[in-house]
Amino acid sequence: PNPLPTLIRKKRDGERLEDAEIRSFVRGVTEGTAQQGQIGAMLMAIRLRGMDAGETLALTRAMAVSGRALAWPPAWHGLVVDKHSTGGVGDKVSLALAPALAACGCKVPMISGRGLGHTGGTLDKLEAIPGFCVSQSPEEMCSILERVGCCIVGQSEELVPADRVLYGLRDVTATVDSVPLITASILSKKATEQLSALVLDVKFGSAALYPTQESARELARSLVEVGTHLGLRTVAVLSRMEQPLGRAVGNAQEVLEALECLHGGGPRDLRQLVTTLG
């Protein structure tokens, strides 16, 4: 593949990147040979020029294999599932949904993220619990799923390391709302999890990344299309985000509200969305 500045120039000028070129870029991100300025420039070029479905799929695959793939016992076949949200103010659904699914017999190995833009991150919320550790090895994840049925962890040097780098840089380079970058970020994590089924909560409205239902639908189509190509049974739900979800906003407060929901209480809109996605 061409040197990284050449690849940046290609995408800047609206040209299509070949699969090998995309793999080369992701390898530079993972191995640390790409400078932060170069990564930021490529992110902005992708944000402004876009990627076609083939490029987005290649980026997702390259990010997914940047770390270890998870493996599960044969007895869990058909039971390993997950959910991901595009994020919104007060969105604490994962905190209630993962244990609810586990109580139904599912295994939920959720690789989640921190806050992006103005939306709170599931990992940040969990760290409001004293002593909670969001960094677990694949072996520890398997042990936790065996005992508890669900876990929520972050990207690491072992799990999707390319996404860990790109995730943070998207937040500081104003490239959060790029459809191919969102698609690759979400689905690279989910491809690593070796899932049987995936549900995506794609939000729209004034408090979401995408203000209109049609722009959110475009993202949902991209996610379902790429997810299906990756061999994941993928569905997307469009949910309204004109106002915060539930009543609580703030990491510790949202953990408490999720616990209320698990006890059968909490705000009606939160219970309804948890049930719909479940």
Catalytic residues: 82-85, 122, 170, 185, 189-190
Long-range contact set of residues 224-230: C-beta below 8 Å, sequence gap at least 24: 224/200, 225/53, 226/53, 226/56, 226/57, 226/60, 226/183, 226/184, 226/187, 227/187, 227/190, 227/198, 227/200, 229/57, 230/57, 230/60, 230/61, 230/64, 230/187, 230/190, 230/191
Looking at the chain, the number of H-run helices and the number of E-run strands are 12, 5
Residue 100 CA, chain-centre distance (Å), reads: 20
Nearest partner of 242 among 275, 272, 269, 276, judged by Cα? 269
Which tokens sit at 78? Answer: 């058909």
